[in-house]
Amino acid sequence: MSAHEKILDEYEIRFNKLIVNIRIVDYEDEFVPFYLVSILNLSKVTEGILEKIKEDFVSKVNTGAISFSFEGGYKSLEENFIAELKLLIKKYFPHIDKPTSDFLVSHLIQESLGLGKIEILLHDKNLEEIVVNNSKEPVWAYHRKFGWVKTNIYIENEKKIRHYATLIGRDVGKDITVLEPLMDASLRTGDRVNATLHPISTKGNTLTIRKFADKPWTITDMILNGTITSEVAAWIWLAIEFELSTLIVGGTGSGKTSMLNALSNFFPANQRIISIEDTRELALPEHLHWVPMETRLPNPEGKGEVTMLDLVVNSLRMRPDRILVGEIRRKREAEVLFEAMHTGHSVYATLHANNASEAISRLTNPPIDIPKLMLSSLGLLVVQYRNRRTGKRVTLQVAEITETGDAKVIFQYDLKNNKYVQLNTPDRLLSAISLYAGLNQEEVENEIKEKKKFLDWLVQNNINDVNKVGLLISKYYRSKK
């Protein structure tokens, strides 16, 4: 290591019999860290022979010496691939043993039927986003700890990027073509994918993969990460317990869906929950009475579409106690949701806005354009913020909605002093709890203390499994002891 470079982190990833070393390196003359991938159990000589096998294999496919059909499905295709690859490996490694042969086959399958070296990035739990901008630039990734990093992985040509996009689309019955150069899809793992083709993306074909969290976020994780404090979380818990509808707002990548998932830990087990998303991201505790629903795009003939609005309207016929919506985008969706709030349903959703006052502005102006007086049915706004320089996410504001439809900030995070400041008394929240539960201010404060104590206990004991957290909160509702 030279004096001009500094190793920030180093760890290993193991999958498909590969052992991959990851080093995060900071170079003095670079503006972002580098994410360096090295396959430890694959020598340069073996890698060279594998490239030769791949060329031989592709050549045989192109000349018709080997042919494959999708008729038997992916499994059948993979089995045929494996049989042919084993023959080629035997040709180049005549004295190879079975474990080594299986390892090489596994690696070649990943390279041929999978997404190549992108698969390595998909198996790193520290990455949130993987981005291919074109074949001339390295693949970029968003690391939980270090933000945007450049990898040492390159996609060999534009044709290969397009092949990956086609492969992903085929899995979910979608096409990406010159006439339809934009595609939204998902991998089998639940990771969301967006693809674009040149010349729409002028530098080349692109892939953007947003990884699905292996482990669902819990309120314990949020407190442990410093995203929120147990006291502020206790206030939000109180609002959710007494069925005040809540919007989680924030910019792109601020952690809105993660916070929505964490706050859903507070739902009682004796209520029916309907969730509605474009792509499944929420993962609620398994003991809850939960029905997850997903929108569907139209088929190539333009038929079979199921929109967010269809599902929101339908959910009202399913006797829900709580309705969760991935994101509010359009006027009709918002109108139906606010109508649901007025008729006694508790609604929880996300919205793109940078702060509480901007959220009110977005809701009351086109394209959403809800009458301001309708907003009074909303209980809380929880504002998420991501510092783009450091990558740190925090709950920036917690605000209640006044009877006139304005936002009154209760708690605000002081970025300079790294602490929460209580700006106002939550009058409307206290009034609602007094009306529906008969609790006075002193009793409410005792409730907050009890909840804070319980959340601190979860943190101290590092209980952050979504099912365990949900179960303990359900038991807390039955008996605080």
Residue 77 pLDDT: 64
Q: Where would I find the H helices in 32-72?
A: 44-63
pLDDT at 242: 92
Q: Helix, strand or coil for residue 12? A: strand
Q: What is the mean pLDDT of each run of 10 residues along the chain (481 residues)?
A: 81 86 93 91 73 72 56 64 81 81 78 83 94 97 92 94 91 86 88 94 96 88 95 96 96 92 95 91 93 86 88 94 93 92 92 96 94 93 89 93 95 93 94 88 93 97 95 90 62
Query: Quick check: bond before 371 cis, omega within 30?
Result: no
Distance separating alpha carbons of residues 224 and 370, to the nearest angstrom: 37
Cα–Cα distance between 53 and 48 in angstroms, integer? 9
CB atoms < 10 A from the CB of 250, how many?
A: 26
Type of residue numbered 279: T
- pLDDT of amino acid 158: 96
Q: Which secondary-structure segment (H or E) carries 443?
A: helix 441-460
pLDDT value of residue 64: 58
Dihedral of CA atoms 63, 66, 70, 72 in degrees, nearest 10, equals 160
Q: Pick from 196, 219, 222: which is nearest to 207 by CA? A: 196
- Which residue segments constitute the domains of the chain, with CATH numbers given? 219-478 (3.40.50.300)
What local confidence, expressed as pLDDT, does residue 76 receive?
66
Cross-strand pairs, 323: 274, 347
Non-local CB neighbours of 91 within 8 Å, separated by 6+ positions: none
Residue 79's Cα: distance from chain center in Å?
Answer: 32
- Compute the distance between CA of residue 259 and CA of residue 308 in angstroms, rounded to an integer: 21
State phi, psi for 115 to the nearest 5 degrees: -105, 30
- Measured CA to CA, the distance from residue 188 to residue 119 in angstroms comes to 13
pLDDT given at position 298: 81
Output the CA–CA distances (angstroms, integers) from residue 419 to 96, 355, 405, in the order listed. 61, 17, 28
Tokens 């979910």 correspond to what residue? 172
